[in-house]
Amino acid sequence: MIPTAFEKCGYERQEEGMIPTAFEKRGYERREEGMIPTEHKKCGYERQEEGMIPTAFEKRGYERREEGMIPTVLEKCGYERQEEGMIPTAFEKRGYERQEEDVIPMEHEKCGYERQEEGMIPTVLEKRGYERQEEGMIPTAFEKCGYESQEETEIPSLLRKYGYMQYNNRRENHMFANYWEIQNRVKYIKEELSHIEAVEKEMPAGELIVAKNNKNYKWYFHNQNTTIYLPKKEIELAKKLTLKKYYQLRKEELQRELQACQMYMQKADCKKDMLEKMLDNAEYERLLGGRRHSVKKELENWMNEKYEKNGSHPENLIVKGTQGKFLRSKSEAIIDKVLYTNGIPFRYEDKLVLENTFLYPDFTTRHPKTGQVYYWEHFGLMDQPEYINRACQKIKMYCENGIIPGINLILTYETKENPLSIDQVEKIVKEYFL
């Protein structure tokens, strides 16, 4: 039912889509070609199957969509392709690196910054007193301002005059290997609690309340039922009240730990080491293959063997020790006596061969039950600068060869005003060998 007059008016039949042929005169193409005006080509447009992208864009500096619709002119402006991160190449001239290098300005290195893989820590900060991030990002300048390092809880050292003691609160240091270590910990806790109780007697009454007001802090003094504003000029009182609160919390923590340790000790009553009691039985010892006996025998042989001693400055061997030996100082004689009376196997100034060098430790000791070796160095002139330098070099040499203080190296020190005491030596011997 299509008027034939339509053909005169420029229309085609329905089976041909009722599309005016005059459209072709006006620049349109057939539907099967997408109904895209051919005139558009003159305007710079392409066919739909090519993305309807103006070809004139290429004249204006744009590329095809399949290339990311990135203006090629941008390359002239210093930009790279998208697949390279859309990073201006001109940035390199301005001191920037590529994205795969984390877009870190190279100029920052001149400003004191390091690369990101090194933590983006300004090296200039080191000049201002900052340490590296792996060392905790703690300003060393704080120490000049009266602050201690973070591991010392960052309480101003100024508070020491109010009775502050340094405590290590890190719980990983409270892991105990056996009953005796817990027993030592209990002793330390009681000493610390005694100190806190003595300090609390000197503290003022009341407590400090700190409230934040926007970006500032306000202090309030609370005592019984009264709370009043505390002005900033009362900073000394605020410090004392802060320290008082710290001690109160520390005291509660120590009391809980003490209770836990005492409960453990009650459950693991080791007044007599049952294992040692068993091994003292000759038959059990025989059935176990005589291991305990073999350790004792090995230590006896080690004690009786001849060894290469330190032949340097024999004229300084003037202090008589045990078993007819002579030592170089009274402090060494104390160590010699305590080791001998407690039955600890040891040698005096036995040659120790290390990598590329050798030393003569003051005492080479052995654990009486396990046979483990411990080296004992006593530094007796720690108030003399040159001696201090030599002592530090010697300790460094030990550490470089796997002999570490507190693990298999025992160190004692003294000055003219603070000589080594027999109590100190007995405490060390008990800790390491008994």
Q: Which CATH number fits domain 306-433: 3.20.20.150, 3.40.1350.10, 3.40.1160.10, 2.40.50.100?
A: 3.40.1350.10
- What's the confidence (pLDDT) of residue 271? 54
Domain boundaries, the chain: 5-60, 171-267, 306-433
Instruction: Show Cβ contacts of residue 357 under 8 Å, excluding neighbours closer than 6 positions.
Output: 397
Specify the pLDDT at position 293.
Answer: 63
Tell me what pLDDT residue 54 has.
52
Residue 239 CB partners (closer than 8 Å, separation 6+)? 156, 158, 159, 162
Chain centre distance of CA 237 = 35
The pLDDT assigned to 161 comes to 44
CB neighbours of 274 closer than 8 A, spacing ≥ 6? none
How far is residue 12's CA from residue 16's CA, in Å, rounded to a whole number?
Answer: 6
pLDDT the model gives residue 246: 93
First-to-last C-alpha distance (Å) of the chain? 118
**Would you say the pTM of this structure is higher than 0.75?**
no
Q: Is 350 helix (H, G, I), strand (E, B) or coil?
A: strand
Give the pLDDT of the chain (434 residues) as one tens digit per residue: 455 554 554 554 445 445 555 444 455 444 444 454 554 444 444 444 544 555 544 445 554 444 444 455 444 444 444 444 444 444 444 444 444 444 444 444 444 444 444 444 444 334 334 434 343 343 433 333 333 333 333 344 434 444 444 443 333 333 444 666 787 788 889 999 999 999 999 999 999 999 988 888 999 999 988 999 999 999 999 999 999 999 999 999 999 999 999 888 887 765 556 766 777 777 887 787 766 667 788 888 898 899 999 999 999 999 999 989 999 999 999 999 999 999 999 999 999 999 888 999 999 999 988 889 999 999 999 999 999 999 999 999 999 999 999 889 999 999 999 999 999 999 999 999 98
Query: Token pair for residue 26?
Result: 């006006």
As to burial, measured by CB atoms within 10 angstroms (0-12 exposed, 13-18 middle, 19+ buried), residue 404 is exposed
Distance (Å, whole) CA 363 – CA 322: 13
pLDDT at 142: 36
